[in-house]
Structure formats: C-alpha cells, structure tokens
Amino acid sequence: MRTPTATTLLALVAGAAPALAQVRAYSINEGVNYLQTGEDSPPKSPINWTLNMELQTVVPGDAAATVVTFSGPRSPFALTFIPGQPFGLHRRFGGSYVTKAALDADFPPGPYTFTVSGGTIGVQADSLNVPLDVFPAVIPYLSGDSFTRLQSANATVPFTGAFPPFTIPSGADRGIVQLTISRGSGQPADLSLLLTPADSSFTIPPRTLDGNTSYILRLVYTAYLDFPARFPGGTASGRVAFVRATAVDFTTTCDADFNTDHTVNSTDVSDFINQWFNDLAEGTLTSDFDANGVVNSTDVSSFINVWFEESAGQICGG
C-alpha cells in the first residue's frame, strides 16, 4: 500500500476546502433595441429601451437578498434570486420603455448601491456609478446586400455578411460585438460569435443552421465601463454596459426543396422532372436550375447533384 506524501495530502485538503463566501460580480446593463427590415440602412427608430441589474455570488447560499438603492423613484429595487445555478444569481429586469427619457426618469444617472444580506456573507454593500450615456454611436445593422441575401440563405453553403464597425465611446473601457442566431426569443443559440469593434464581417459555416427554418439574427454592440476589485476584500468585478442590439428575421432555404414543402426528399425529384418536361414542351423556364436562360439536360444533372448533397446531410433531408 502506497503511503500518501505530504504534497498529496495538501492537495486533497485544498480540493476539499469549501469555496469562500463572496460576491464575485455585479452589473447594470442599459440597452436599446432595433429591428432591421430593409437593405443597407440602419433602423431609424428604436423598438424600446431597457435596463437590468444582476449580482452573482460564488455559491447560492452566500446571499439571500440583494437590494439596489439609487436616486430614482423605483428605488429600492429588489433583485430576484434565480435558482438552479451552480453559483448565486440575483437578477431583475427593469422593464421596457418607449423613450430614453422615460427610462432615465425611473433609473437616472448616478450611484447605484448593491446591498446583499441574509446569507453566509452577511451584510455587504458597494456601488456602481452610471453615467448618462456611453452608448456606441453606431446602430448595428447588416450592410451592403447582406440583409437581402440572408432572407434566402442556403443552409448548406457558407454565408458571409457585413456590418459597420464602431469606435469605443469616450468614457468606456472596452467594447465587443456579439452576433447570435436562434430560432426565437429565449431559445438557445444555433450560432454565437464574439467579435471586436473593429470587425466588419461574419461567416455562418455551412450546415450550422437547418434548411427551410425561421431564425432571428441579433447583432449587438456593447460598450463596457469596468469597476474591478469591488466589495469588501476586492472580490467582485463591477460593470456598467451600454448596449445597442438589432434583430433581423430570416428564413433559410434549400436549393433542392423544389416543391417548397420544407423537406428535401424523392418528391422534389419527381416534381422537378415533371416540371422539366413541361418546360421543354411549353418553352418555359421554371426548371432552369442553373439560371442560364435555357432548359436542357444540364439542369437535371445540376439539380440531382444538389439534391444528393442536401438530402444526405440531414440539414434539408426528410
């Protein structure tokens, strides 16, 4: 039997030690949301303005309650404990506002003091100072022909789109660009990209998305103000974020879904061949698959090649 060494015993003891009770992060996020509905131009009017606050502790029992106080009429603002997390999470959404002025009336600039209580931490407090406006100056949107091309993007091939870069505003410490694609609000992301303010393009890899499926793309520009080493002992990182976010609705396609029933299967082949014979007889171009202005045998071979590719990958197949 091997006798444990002193190093091994120290490692076991260290591994078994409980996590220190402490606040590890807290934040205030102010946002404005847009919807892009046209080509190569930023949305002209916001959908809404929002604000949310959050505090995290190392483990759920560190704090039973978190209350934020400030000079506005909605103070004190009690955060809600969110169960089911490996850490302690307290969060609350401040609501949706039609104008920035209405948001600022309820949540004005100035110091916001987060006070935790009722857990193993005891009572602790620290503040974040929220300035009036440190939003990125640029509204995010898909530029060039990206919006139009995305509306019928083929899920089996790469898609590259463009957007304008932004400059980190004065008073902010850093900025990021986030791009996510999901099947709806609150749904998990099928694609999530983290980019820099200097970036101006993105690529959706082939077969990342399903064909003939509706998605929401969200392009988000965020400017951060960082407040390191906060709360007693300097355990927490504080953050104030100013966020501009634009949503784009789109539906993917599959070239071999000839009958547009949202499935690529043998019916598409028979329907295409029937249409091809009809085009030859009538002089029409519905089955001109390679779009060269002529219906001939090349269209059949091109369609069959794409059909095999798309039906085999489970992206468009039935």
**185 confidence band (pLDDT: 50, 70, 90):** confident
| The dihedral sign for the CA sequence 57, 62, 68, 69 | negative
**313 confidence band (pLDDT: 50, 70, 90):** low
Mean pLDDT of 20-38: 94
**Residue 268: C-alpha distances to residues 6, 58, 163, 311 (Å):** 71, 55, 36, 10
pLDDT the model gives residue 12: 40
| Statement: residue 219 has pLDDT above 50 | yes
**207 confidence band (pLDDT: 50, 70, 90):** confident
pLDDT tens per residue, range 281-296: 999 998 888 889 999 9
pLDDT tens per residue, range 64-80: 999 999 999 999 999 99
Can you give the pTM of this predicted structure?
Answer: 0.83
Residue spans of the domains in the chain: they are 23-251, 266-312
Mean pLDDT of 162-170: 98
pLDDT the model gives residue 20: 66
29-43, 57-71, 90-104, 246-260: range with lowest mean pLDDT: 246-260
How crowded is residue 84: how many other Cβ atoms within 10 Å of its Cβ? 6
Percent share of the chain, pLDDT over 90? 74
d(CA 46, CA 49): 8
Average per-residue pLDDT for the chain:
90
pLDDT the model gives residue 155: 85
